[in-house]
Amino acid sequence: MAASSSSSGSAATSAITAVLLVASLCVHGAAAQLCEDYYDDTCPDAYDITRQVLIDAHQSDPRIFASLIRLHFHDCFVQGCDGSLLLDSVPGMPSEKTSPPNNGSARGFPVVDAVKAALEDACPGVVSCADILALAAEISVELSGGPSWGVLLGRLDGKTSDFNGSLNLPAPTDNLTVLRSKFDDLKLNDVDLVALSGGHTFGRVQCQLVTDRLYNFSNTNMPDPTLDPAYRDFLSQRCPRNGDPTALNDLDPTTPDTFDKNYYTNIEVNRGFLNSDQELKSAPEAQGTTAPIVDQFASSQDDFFRSFAQSMINMGNLSPVTDPSLGEVRTNCKRVN
């Protein structure tokens, strides 16, 4: 096994940290992989600096933590966690952020830029935009009452944005078969699907994503039969047939800004907001697959938190760019250097 240290560690540091070798430390001389201590020598305050910018942003925007974790998800699911979502469109390369799953709903970009600016100030050219999203996701969950975990770092930023790829992101109208297959394509299993969907324990969602369930489910001109009638009435008032399609609702009305297991207890009583949420419990195929996992997380917040942390690490490991010939540390998250 190779000795270990941060990527730029001195020999002395290597000797000391070799004793503490664990899987998440950087490994020299092996295929590059992500590790917790990647910036320990080059930007030791990266975590604290990011955290402070997020705390400041949250003062005026209580939704920001939810918005930031969603950015990490939408980044990682499209050509890996490479900051591809953050690039602005350029001629010949429309950005992922302008695609239907993101346009008008992905938000928090100015806060990512503020984190980047603070990090460039402290340690110029060191911390990638892809890593900022991973750090911001963990900090956001933790500050909302959820679990903490050691964020694996060392991703480089890619040089392309994949608009077409983002069209394949999991959709709110997807049924369980499609959701499982989209996760499976990325080697994420049913536990990952159910745990990561628990991200919907906070944040907001627009009316247009529930109107088909309220009024015209599967083109039947009827509501979704799996939707709890009282919750349907509540949502129908907030989202009338010809109301503002962009009006906002809480994904978890019981505790809108807290990271807890209520996403699952809502689903247990047929109060999942999106079709993709309720499918995890109510689809025929859920029996023996995802439904038992929903049940487990609804009854044990500890189990949910443990699985969520592991699944976030799994998601954060999706095709990271670590080869310097294929990526870079962007100076500005919106453009390649």
Ligand X SMILES: *[C@@H]1O[C@H](CO)[C@@H](O)[C@H](O)[C@H]1NC(C)=O
Residues in contact with ligand X by CB under 6 A are 98, 103-104, 164, 175, 177-178, 216, 219, 221
Nearest Cα neighbor of 278 from 213, 202, 333 is 213
For residues 201 and 194, is the Cβ–Cβ distance under 8 A? Answer: no
Could you give the CA distance from residue 210 to residue 255 in angstroms, rounded to a whole number? 19
The option from ligand HEM, ligand X, none interacting with 179 (CB < 5 to 8 A, set by class) reads: ligand HEM
Which sequence positions are flagged as catalytic?
74
CB 273, min distance to ligand X, A: 19
Q: Is 200 annotated as a binding residue?
A: yes
The option from ligand HEM, ligand X, none interacting with 203 (CB < 5 to 8 A, set by class) reads: ligand HEM
The Cα-based distances of 193 to 35, 124, 187 in angstroms read 24, 37, 11
x/- string (CB under 6 A) for ligand HEM, residues 209-238?
A: x-----------------------------
Q: Is 189 helix (H, G, I), strand (E, B) or coil?
A: coil
The option from ligand HEM, ligand X, none interacting with 8 (CB < 5 to 8 A, set by class) reads: none
CB 79, min distance to ligand X, A: 12
Using the 8-state DSSP alphabet, how is residue 192 labeled? H
Residues 165-194, interacting with ligand HEM (CB under 6 A): 170-172, 174, 179
Q: Give 328's strand partners.
A: 157
User: Among 200, 213, 271, 281, which residue sits at the site for ligand HEM (rule: CB under 6 A)?
Assistant: 200
For the chain, how far is it from start to end, CA to CA, in angstroms? 36
Contacts of 21 (CB under 8 A, 6+ apart): 1, 3, 4
CB 304, min distance to ligand HEM, A: 12
Could you give the CA distance from residue 243 to residue 39 in angstroms, rounded to a whole number? 49
CB 136, min distance to ligand X, A: 23
Question: Segment near ligand HEM (CB under 6 A), from 42-50, 65-73, 82-90, 282-290?
Answer: 65-73
The option from ligand X, ligand HEM, none interacting with 178 (CB < 5 to 8 A, set by class) reads: ligand X
Q: Which residue's CB is nearer to ligand HEM, number 70 or number 330?
A: 70
Q: Give 90's strand partners.
A: 93
CA atoms within 13 A on the CB side of 283: 22
Q: Which residue's CB is nearer to ligand X, number 173 or number 331?
A: 173
User: Among 161, 276, 278, 301, which residue sits at the site for ligand HEM (rule: CB under 6 A)?
Assistant: 276
Q: Compute the chain's Rg from CA coordinates.
A: 20
User: Per-residue b/e over 179-203, b at no fewer than 16 CB within 10 Å?
Assistant: bbebbeeeebebbbbbbbbbbbbbb
The option from ligand HEM, ligand X, none interacting with 73 (CB < 5 to 8 A, set by class) reads: ligand HEM
Binding-site residue set for heme b: 200
The site for ligand HEM (CB under 6 A) is made up of: 63, 66-67, 69-70, 73, 105, 107, 170-172, 174, 179, 196-197, 199-200, 202-206, 209, 251, 274, 276
